[in-house]
A and B are shown apart, each in its own frame.
Chain A
Amino acid sequence: MKILGFIIVFLCGILLIYHTADFPDWGNPVSPASTHVSPYYIEKALDDTAVPNIVTAVLADYRGYDTMFETTVIFCAGIACFFLLRITRRREPSVALYRHLPTGITLRIEKGGKEPGKSNVFKRIDSQWVPDDLIIKTTCRIVVPFVQIFALYVIAHGHHSPGGGFQGGVILGASIILFAISTDLRTSIDRMSERLGAFFSATGVFIYAGAGALCLILGASFLDYSALAPILNVDSVMARSHGILIVEIGVGLAVMAVMIWLYYNVSSAGRHDEGL
């Protein structure tokens, strides 16, 4: 099987490499990919949408349908992961570990023993014993807000610099995941619950589709943001720019929530008690 697989892969690779002779050269400005629709985007994006970043303009305006359904795909992935893994039935762990915070002593409570519950003195820790690492916790606590501010900048400034909803959403999600890794999953879920994640991911898709539907109600095509001009009190070109920002916020929310949701479910195998 190994040899057969290698032969198939090798022949396939040779065939593909043989046919790269017909491909355009690297960096060729008149290659087929750069001649049909892309010059239109480059030359007209600023006049049509007032967005200097052409990638953002194409992503959220010219190819808005594509991006909307990509967001829906991400939302569906989050839901699929939830339905595959989530175990709602709470099974009590056989051994629970608690740390006595003032002294740093770890308590091991066997099944049937009385647990201290939530208090400022005792803190539940994961069953795979982890040291109380002050440096990691403090560093992450300081870094996380800056990561989040940067993420908001990336979303809000996506019109003028590289960025947008997808990138900013991933950075926002990464900040929460960093928090979950540096402390533990339960602390992270206390701050950003699963319910909130599900709500945000649905809200993000709703904002996107709702912006499109609003254009439809106002008499234009679906996702034609220039129809929003009377509501936003700007001309139709700026309305397209603002419409892009609205859908980017929706995308950012959905992506952030789904990234966190996926992490919660995959890292704890759906039990949401102990993470990585």
Chain B
Amino acid sequence: MNEWITTLISKYNYWGFIVLMMIGLYAMMVKKNFVKKIIGMNIFQTAIILFYVSIGAKKGATIPIILHGHGEETHIIHAAEYINPLPHVLMLTAIVVSVATLGVALALAIKVYSQYDTLEEDEINRKIRDQMTQIEQ
């Protein structure tokens, strides 16, 4: 029991991200509406961003900006005093890129809507099938 609580405390962040990621995956797979699929994709991305940022955390460390960084005196910097900057760098760019890809996804959705007058996957498939049968006749 005690061991189980230790596991829970040290790993619950990952579980949260996995739940979030699975919500996003479910939305992408099952939802029929394209905008809902795009929202699912964004939830998925958010889960990954949170996962990376939590990897960078260190107990008892501060943000990765060196204290008294522009003083004259030099002092020794210990890696344990500052959290890992690398995941932050990767996610910093990933957040902005995710906004840009969201824009492209919405542009595609607008294009699909202007072509088929709907964003529901079923109706679009039906319309495409109708067009194909018309061409065959």
Of B11, B56, B63, B107, the residue contacting A85 (CB under 8 A) is B107
A234 CB → nearest B CB, Å: 15
The residues of B that contact A162 with a CB separation of less than 8 Å are: 63, 65
Q: Mark B34-65, 1 if CB is under 8 A from A, else 0.
A: 00000000000000000000111111110111
CB-CB contacts below 8 Å: A58-102 with B: 58-59, 63, 66-67, 70, 73-74, 77-78, 80-81, 84-85
Would B7 and A39 count as touching, CB distance under 8 A? no
Of A38, A46, A270, the residue contacting B77 (CB under 8 A) is A46
User: How far does the alpha carbon of A164 sit from the alpha carbon of B95 in the complex, in Å?
Assistant: 14
User: How far does the alpha carbon of A80 sit from the alpha carbon of B106 in the complex, in Å?
Assistant: 11
A residues contacting the other copy or chain, number (CB 8 A): 66
Would A266 and B99 count as touching, CB distance under 8 A? no
Would B89 and A63 count as touching, CB distance under 8 A? yes
Of A20, A21, A160, A262, the residue contacting B18 (CB under 8 A) is A20
User: How far does the alpha carbon of A166 sit from the alpha carbon of B89 in the complex, in Å?
Assistant: 11
Interface centre among A5, A258, A265 (most CB of B within 10 A): A5
Of A2, A45, A164, A258, the residue contacting B92 (CB under 8 A) is A164
Residue B111 CB within 8 A of the other chain = yes
Would A54 and B15 count as touching, CB distance under 8 A? no
The residues of B that contact A70 with a CB separation of less than 8 Å are: 93, 96-97
Of A23, A46, A59, the residue contacting B69 (CB under 8 A) is A46
Residue B114 CB within 8 A of the other chain = yes
Residue A170 CB within 8 A of the other chain = yes
Residue A12 CB within 8 A of the other chain = yes
Of B63, B70, B85, B108, the residue contacting A41 (CB under 8 A) is B85
Of A12, A20, A33, A259, the residue contacting B55 (CB under 8 A) is A33
Would A77 and B65 count as touching, CB distance under 8 A? no
- Given that A5-B30, A9-B22, A26-B54 are contacting pairs, would A33 and B110 also be in contact in the complex, using a CB cutoff of 8 Å? no
- Given that A59-B89, A85-B111, A265-B107 are contacting pairs, would A17 and B18 also be in contact in the complex, using a CB cutoff of 8 Å? yes
CB-CB contacts below 8 Å: B107-121 with A: 107-108, 110-111, 114
Would A21 and B7 count as touching, CB distance under 8 A? yes
Would A266 and B107 count as touching, CB distance under 8 A? yes
Would A58 and B107 count as touching, CB distance under 8 A? no
B residues contacting the other copy or chain, number (CB 8 A): 57
Would A33 and B84 count as touching, CB distance under 8 A? yes
The residues of A that contact B14 with a CB separation of less than 8 Å are: 17, 20, 23, 26
A30 CB → nearest B CB, Å: 9
Q: Mark A12-56, 1 if CB is under 8 A from B, else 0.
A: 110011001101111111010110011101110110000111110
User: How far does the alpha carbon of A235 sit from the alpha carbon of B92 in the complex, in Å?
Assistant: 29
- Given that A16-B18, A84-B104 are contacting pairs, would A54 and B92 also be in contact in the complex, using a CB cutoff of 8 Å? no
The residues of A that contact B22 with a CB separation of less than 8 Å are: 9-10, 12-13, 16
Closest to A70 in B: B93
A194 CB → nearest B CB, Å: 15
Residue A130 CB within 8 A of the other chain = no
The residues of A that contact B18 with a CB separation of less than 8 Å are: 13, 16-17, 20
Interface centre among B54, B96, B110 (most CB of A within 10 A): B96
Would A6 and B30 count as touching, CB distance under 8 A? yes
Of A2, A26, A39, A45, the residue contacting B10 (CB under 8 A) is A26
A157 CB → nearest B CB, Å: 11
User: How far does the alpha carbon of A134 sit from the alpha carbon of B75 in the complex, in Å?
Assistant: 56
Would A166 and B92 count as touching, CB distance under 8 A? yes
Q: Mind listing 21 A-B residue pairs with CB under 8 Å?
A: A13-B22, A16-B22, A17-B15, A17-B18, A21-B11, A26-B54, A38-B86, A42-B85, A43-B77, A46-B77, A51-B69, A54-B65, A55-B89, A70-B97, A74-B96, A77-B101, A77-B103, A78-B103, A85-B107, A166-B93, A265-B103
